[in-house]
A and B are shown apart, each in its own frame.
Chain A
């Protein structure tokens, strides 16, 4: 999991304020590259270098994306997907944090539950969907459950590792002062593990959208994942690319929002 940790640190560094001139100065060539690639795409389609129904010009995709703003199916589908992702994420956060703390502090529960968690963990998410369809149907219950299950692991793992890594001296000190169990948890353990929990929560924010989309693809009847498959079969690549664009924007925005909250709420993160 250390990769995930370091990524977080790096993203924090990257998100630190810097002057816009400095930003553009280093990246002007990169922005140009993107513009060049997009122009090439546009031209190749317009001038017929690539003759394919699946290769619409960029402008057409942007037009389709823009038209969707005036009330289109994409935004409705996206909203449905995000709702499922959010509910699953909330459930996973609660379960992951609570179990992470409890299992790290109690040997009995650890012996009982950790092996079970370790068995389920390596299972690729798409594989769990077909058997669950049998029990939960193909509606919200299935997708929310899958999102929750997949998001649970990073949150649980980082919380568990974070609690296990809390300096024992802190806890011993609290014990010396006869601090109650609940107070030790609240005033000593929790602040020390919040950065670890935040790291897990952040990994899970990206993951919950991914899983919501893929579950809709496999067992879909609504949502943006289903919409993507639908437009693939309907041969509407412009709408499909527009949907991907919206998804990418959502993913990017979520990450940014998370970073902003993290920086405000946990200023001590990444400094120990």
Chain B
């Protein structure tokens, strides 16, 4: 699989086609080809977004969504990595946990939203639990694969030097399987964001998801689009942060 840094021959052209689409959209709006109530012009959306930022109203929902997501994602990453390593290094734990993991994994995670709402009540804890449930399985499985796929010579060498189990995990297994762990976390990142937004739409009184659905229902379409832009930027920013972190943590990635 080609690395993301591989040139795809686009370069500066990347901005051209989005610009053309935006121009056509704007023109269509100005010329009255589109229904201005259903589909506001890009300039109107940008104006709504600017107003949102200027008034400071952007802050509370953004903090709500990002907060839920970050807490849930961190927990999912830690739990997923922990169980993944445990299952990969201990035959007994593997036997104990594998059937349970295989049982829970195929459940489409959105189906758990109403279940957890009934179960844990509607609240932040529930939404965080959803992100954890959605995010931990990709991390867990990817970690497990990563550790199992390690060069046996590496582990044998460590064993020859009689390194303790905890030291072996901390200084050999964890760094060596980091690329795979991060790959799992990347999948979890996208899933986690989907679950946060869904949970907010279905039950929260705050947050970006709540805002988008609420504004649609009260027919404030411009503001709704402004919030969608915020969300897209947020998603792209998180991916970017993740890319940078990955490049710093595993600079050798994709070279082996």
Return A52 CB to nearest CB of chain B, in Å. Answer: 9
Return A155 CB to nearest CB of chain B, in Å. Answer: 15
**Which of B1, B99, B228 is in CB contact (< 8 Å) with A27?**
B99
**Which of A2, A111, A255 is in CB contact (< 8 Å) with B13?**
A111
Q: Are A127 and B18 in contact (CB under 8 A)?
A: no
Q: Are B106 and A255 in contact (CB under 8 A)?
A: yes
Q: Are B186 and A125 in contact (CB under 8 A)?
A: no
**Which of B111, B183, B232 is in CB contact (< 8 Å) with A228?**
B111
Kindly state whether residue B9 has any CB partner on chain A within 8 Å: yes
**A interface SS class:** helix
Binding site for B on A (CB under 8 A): 1-7, 9-10, 26-31, 33-34, 37, 54-55, 107, 110-116, 118-119, 122-128, 130-131, 133-135, 161, 164-165, 206, 209-210, 213-214, 217-218, 224-225, 228-229, 231-232, 235, 237, 240-241, 243-244, 247-249, 251-252, 255
Q: Are B114 and A228 in contact (CB under 8 A)?
A: yes
Q: Are A217 and B113 in contact (CB under 8 A)?
A: yes
**Which of B8, B112, B198 is in CB contact (< 8 Å) with A244?**
B112
**B interface SS class:** helix
Kindly state whether residue B96 has any CB partner on chain A within 8 Å: yes
Contact-residue bracket for chain B = 35 or more
Q: Are A2 and B110 in contact (CB under 8 A)?
A: no
Name the residue in B16, B146, B194 with the highest tally of chain A Cβ atoms < 10 Å from its Cβ. Answer: B194
What residues on B are CB-neighbors of A217 within 8 Å? 110, 113-114, 198, 202
What residues on A are CB-neighbors of B186 within 8 Å? 3
16 A-B pairs besides A30-B98, A131-B221 with CB distance below 8 A are: A2-B183, A6-B180, A7-B142, A27-B98, A29-B96, A30-B97, A122-B190, A122-B235, A124-B194, A124-B197, A126-B194, A210-B109, A214-B110, A218-B201, A228-B113, A240-B115
What residues on B are CB-neighbors of A241 within 8 Å? 115
Return A197 CB to nearest CB of chain B, in Å. Answer: 13
**Which of A115, A209, A247 is in CB contact (< 8 Å) with B17?**
A115
